[in-house]
A and B are shown apart, each in its own frame.
Chain A
Amino acid sequence: MAVITAENLTHTYSAGTPFEKTAIENISLSIPSGQFIGIIGHTGSGKSTFIQHLNALIKPTSGKVLFDGSDINADKVSRREIRRHVGLVFQYPEYQLFEETVYADIAFGPKNMNFSEDEIRERVTEAASFTGIAPELMERSPLELSGGQKRRIAIAGVIAMRPEILILDEPTAGLDPAGCRTILGNICDYKEKTGATVIIISHNMDDVARLAQRIIVFDGGSVVLDGTPDQVFSQAEKLISIGLDIPASTALALELKRQGVELGCPVYTHEGLVEAVLAYREGKTC
């Protein structure tokens, strides 16, 4: 069953002024429960605007967002209620930390949901363990920690609300490779242990190809491709033509094809490439 559905979603910023700009136009998408979804698209393609509709931070100019069948923008209460179910981690979330201790910052979300002290403690501890924050850091000030640690604290702050849908806007932007791996690992852990739906915006095609079960491509405010990594990366030329990257392995496969080596199946991960090349050497197609 679909958990969250967007119906003909359109959003125009600053309508009626010289700065008017349509960010997304007529987007209809259905996101079933438990999927790992990657959203790709270059800057200004409307992906950030789209995800902010999913927890009612932005009201659509026209169209609807349905959560379990009911309109999330129906009234004030439902707009606040939806944020318990849909957790959104913004780009560079470390800039939103404000509390005196790491613990208090992670507890901000659950506290706003009026849980008991015990419940809050349990959720904070759980979120901290999901994101690999050591217990001895809990009483430190978040502002004096490293960039990667801050990022994980901010993500923990959202995870502590135990959202059924976790959306992350470029969670690895500006981190070193080790930091990226840790954060992506944390997110996969959360998904595996809770069965949550995860939506991730990323510019790193290798990450998206490796993790996502479904990839949605935005361009100019519309969805241009939507499908499994197989389907999406088999259209590598189209991705390149709208100014996006393709996974390194796909690029290599394309180059091989140009040299006359037809691998015969879409390749988008390192493992898949190795397999396809081995299969090719033995004269089979995969």
Chain B
Amino acid sequence: MLKDVTLGQYFPGDTIVHRLDPRTKILLVVLYIVALFQAKWWVSYAIVIAVAGLSMALSHISVKNMFKGLKPMIFIICLTAVLNIFYTQGTPVLPGWIITWEGIERAIQMVLRIVLLITGTFLLTYTTSPIALTDGLELLMNPLKKIRVPVHEMTMMMSMALRFIPTLIEETDKIMSAQKARGADFENGSLVQRAKALLPILVPLFVSAFRRADELAVAMESRCYHGGEGRTRMKKLQFAANDILALVLGILFLAGMILLRVFGL
């Protein structure tokens, strides 16, 4: 039930995309997003779709899994489509109608843009483990340390939060089962009753979250954690030939998209 949540989940694998350095993948996603926003007409959208599809194929992520991840966004996507259909000026589809050809075109492009945006970012989280992701982020943001941005602390908090999401989901599942076994009912009743029914889950969940936080703090302290200063890594991130190739391709892709925009395609 709760285990089916795929938003931002990592699918382990050993494809060329999985093996790329996390920094490369983060930079590629940035390039991809900038490129996506250059798209103004069908030709450029077709190219972005092709690039997204190719990356998905290379990382062995199925279309089905990708759409599963899109599910929570369906409301925003529909809302965008409806707003664009009705609020774009132009030639009406039929005389007297509010809906215009321009509106329909705009709506399709906006939906495409959102779907492609999410697809791109999901490709990153689907193919990069949370730990690698935060490691990559920390190294990329390293220069910000010069202006006293607590980069290490921020990424450490991020990786801890990511690390504990599955644990807390599992815990919630367990507590829910235990309370269901005692006859608790989370599915029926009025809104107030259902909100009240959450109490037997939330209280134990908070208690255990605090206990875990406490234990984690003690465990870190007893291993002499004192922040990022002078900390070395077991796995040093290293750019390989593939990374450079991928980045060059990414930059070329962005340059191409900018060119297409200039030509109005």
Contacts and interface: CB of A to CB of B under 8 A. Distances in A.
Interface stretch (B44-52, B176-184, B254-262): B176-184
Interface residues of B, number: 24
Nearest to B208: A95
Contact of A98 (B174, B177, B199): B199
Nearest to A157: B182
Interface in B113-164: none
A109 B204 contact: no
Interface string A95-126: 11110000000001100110000000000000
Contacts of B208: 95
Contacts of A89: 181
Contact of A112 (B177, B183, B187, B203): B183
A158 B182 CA distance: 6
A96 B12 CA distance: 32
Interface in A158-204: 158, 161
Contacts, number: 63
Contacts of A95: 174-175, 204, 207-208
Given A95-B204, A98-B199, A57 B181 contact: yes
Give the contact-size bracket for chain A: 20 to 34
A143 B181 contact: no
Contacts of A42: none
Ranked nearest first, the 4 interchain pairs of A and B with the lowest CB-CB distance are: A112-B183, A98-B203, A109-B182, A96-B178
Interface of B: 3-4, 11-13, 65, 174-175, 177-185, 187, 199-200, 203-204, 207-208
Given A57-B180, A57-B181, A108-B200, 9 more contacts: A83-B181, A88-B178, A89-B181, A95-B208, A96-B179, A109-B183, A112-B185, A113-B183, A143-B207
